[in-house]
Copies of this chain bind each other. A is one copy, B any other.
């Protein structure tokens, strides 16, 4: 029996992009279903009743939720091709630690900066930059976080690149100035077709975020 793979996702989600890159790395064919988070489908509510969030991978009818968990699942099921997690237990733990760090820090800090003004905005901006500086320091002189090859942490972080233009525009800073080595890493990742063909254009993400902002402001009036 062929695998039936369905992905419930939103195109601009960095968490969804992780899953799309993982599926591309493994060469898995799947049906993509775009969700509207302001009017969630019955299928999404049924497949992720706990968090009601995308992405959800549905594999032969069974749902897997939370992007970092989905990527590990994909790596374990389609294990014969393009390993994503390192084979060494210590390196696996480190990769998991940093993906968890990204999940705990980046999106919340961005929202704090985005939706505030004055001192709070400046504090959020400073924190967001310090997060990327720490991630740059963690890369060190390696080509990828996975060493010579693109791995779990590379895959967990690269989707945020599509939001850099948005972060920079709302925060009035330049990633190229703040984190030049991290930007070199971005270029190396983007040389991979599985990455460059999956990630949307950063200007399109920015337009999407402007639309979200408009909707938030309208709902506040």
Contact = CB atoms under 8 A, between A and B. Distances in A.
Interface of A is mostly: helix
A64 interface: yes
Contacts of A72: 92-93, 96
Q: 4 tightest CB-CB pairs across the interface, nearest first?
A: A76-B89, A73-B93, A64-B93, A69-B96
B100 A69 contact: yes
A35 B97 CA distance: 21
A97 B65 contact: yes
A77 to B, nearest CB: 5
A50 interface: yes
A92 B66 CA distance: 13
Contact-residue bracket for chain A: 20 to 34
A100 B64 contact: no
B50 A77 contact: no
A64 B88 CA distance: 13
B97 A69 contact: yes
Interface string A53-74: 0000001001011100110110
A134 interface: yes
A66 B50 CA distance: 23
A50 B62 CA distance: 36
Contacts of A97: 64-66, 69
A18 to B, nearest CB: 15
B50 A73 contact: no
Given A64-B90, A73-B93, A77-B89, 13 more contacts: A50-B101, A62-B90, A64-B93, A65-B97, A66-B97, A66-B100, A69-B93, A69-B96, A69-B97, A69-B100, A72-B92, A73-B89, A76-B89
Nearest to A73: B93
Contact of A73 (B59, B64, B92): B92
A89 B70 CA distance: 10
A77 B90 CA distance: 9
Contacts of A64: 90, 93, 97
